[in-house]
Amino acid sequence: SKVPPIILNNGVEMPQLGFGVWQVPDDEAERAVATALEAGYRSIDTAAAYGNEEGTGKGLASSGIAREDLFVTTKLQNGDQGYDSTLRAFDASLGKLGLDYVDLYLIHWPMPARGTYIDTYKAFEKLQADGLVKSIGVSNFLPEHLDKLIDATSVIPAVNQIELHPHLQQAAAREYHAEQGIATEAWSPLGQGRGLLEVPAIVAIAQKHGRTPAQVVLRWHLQLGNVVIPKSVTPSRIKENIDVFGFALDTEDIAAISALNENRRLGSAPSEVN
């Protein structure tokens, strides 16, 4: 594969760039995933809540790519938190995906007011011990949630997948993750394509390198060390978003993008989803 891996805290390799399928309808997911795999992506990010695990699984199967060359992430949906319900929900996800293991399983949101994420994560530890999940992690966890989780369980999460893009750079979370050995995975890495890709500083850097704004934003993430999972259903954009390994931003470019932080979320705040 043309995407270099990062090494997770359990020694497992994860491609630093993957393909996200949020908001891709189930009956379009097969084609989108197939297009991405043809373009060279090997990591796919879905979730039970996206309702497209079946279509995603069909795209994986029809590709003919060997299972060990794929990296499949799915997420436990909020309503299924709890020890027994997690085991049942995982089984359903695995069936829909048509797989016999997943590479990475994430708790989609912490839902701190419900107080169920520790029991949920203990079920994740069992799934990992049983070989059904290679790596376990979380999504949308704040450092305070991770502190509690790490105190009460034995496996440090491999990944925390959080909203992260030039308008929401998450410096404190990234630093905390680095101290704990947790990989930072950026969701909505392109800021959902809304506005961010027209920001003059980004357009100027793109022109300087003869690249597109999306490619510049993805390079910024990669050079910071983030895992990225851009989404598109447009074949030309799917290809464009993985064609980011033949150029590099210089320190001036990185500084100009780092100056764009506004601490502005597009999605929900982690503690507000319950």
Encoded one letter per residue, x for contact with ligand NAD by CB under 6 A and - for no contact, window 45-84 reads x---------------------------------------
How many chain residues bind ligand NAD (CB under 6 A)? 26
Which pairing describes strands 102-107 and 71-76: parallel, antiparallel, or unpaired? parallel
**Is the CB of 39 or the CB of 251 nearer to ligand NAD?**
39
**Does 193 interact with ligand NAD (rule: CB under 6 A)?**
yes
Rg over alpha carbons for the chain, rounded to the nearest Å, is 18
Q: Binding of ligand NAD at residue 237 (CB under 6 A)? A: yes
Sort 184 into a burial class: Cβ within 10 Å, 0-12 / 13-18 / 19+. buried
Residue list 16-35, contact with ligand NAD (CB under 6 A):
20-22
For the CB of residue 164, give the shortest distance to ligand NAD in the complex, in Å. 10
Q: Which of 117, 188, 206, 220 binds ligand NAD (CB under 6 A)?
A: 188
Shortest Å distance, C-beta 267 to ligand NAD: 6
Confirm if 226 and 185 have CB atoms less than 8 A apart: yes
Q: Angle at CA 21, nearest 5°, toward 190 and 177?
A: 60
Pairing of strands 5-7, 13-15: antiparallel
Catalytic residue among 41, 50, 121, 176: 50
Determine which residue in the list 86, 160, 161, 184 makes contact with ligand NAD, applying CB under 6 A: 161
Q: What is the smallest separation between the CB atom of 24 and ligand NAD, expressed in angstroms?
A: 7
Whether 105 is catalytic is: no
- Indicate whether 166 belongs to the interface with ligand NAD (CB under 6 A): no
CA 17 – CA 29 distance, rounded (Å): 18
Q: Tell me how far, at minimum, the Cβ of 85 lies from ligand NAD, in Å.
A: 19
Q: 149, 190, 227, 260: which one contacts ligand NAD (CB under 6 A)?
A: 190
108 among annotated binding-site residues? yes
Give the C-alpha separation, 162 to 69, whole Å: 25
HEC readout, 186-235:
EECCCHHHCCHHHCHHHHHHHHHHCCCHHHHHHHHHHHHCCEECCCCCCH
Q: Where are the alpha helices (DSSP H) in the chain?
A: 26-39, 53-63, 83-97, 117-129, 143-152, 171-180, 200-209, 213-224, 235-242, 251-258
Tell me if 140 contacts ligand NAD by CB under 6 A: yes
Does position 187 interact with ligand NAD (CB under 6 A)? The reply is: yes
- Residue among 50 and 176 whose Cβ is closer to ligand NAD: 50
Q: How many CB atoms lie within 10 A of CB 236?
A: 9
146 binds ligand NAD (CB under 6 A): no
Question: Site map for ligand NAD, 244-263, x if CB under 6 A?
Answer: --------------------
Spell out the residues 6+ positions from residue 142 whose beta carbon is closer than 8 angstroms to its own.
Answer: 110, 173, 270, 271
What is the rounded CA–CA span in Å between residue 49 and residue 264?
24
Active-site amino acid positions = 50
Q: Which residues contact ligand NAD (rule: CB under 6 A)?
A: 20-22, 45, 108, 139-140, 161, 187-193, 197, 212, 214, 229-232, 237, 240-241, 267
The binding site consists of 108
* Residue stretches of the annotated binding site for substrate: 108
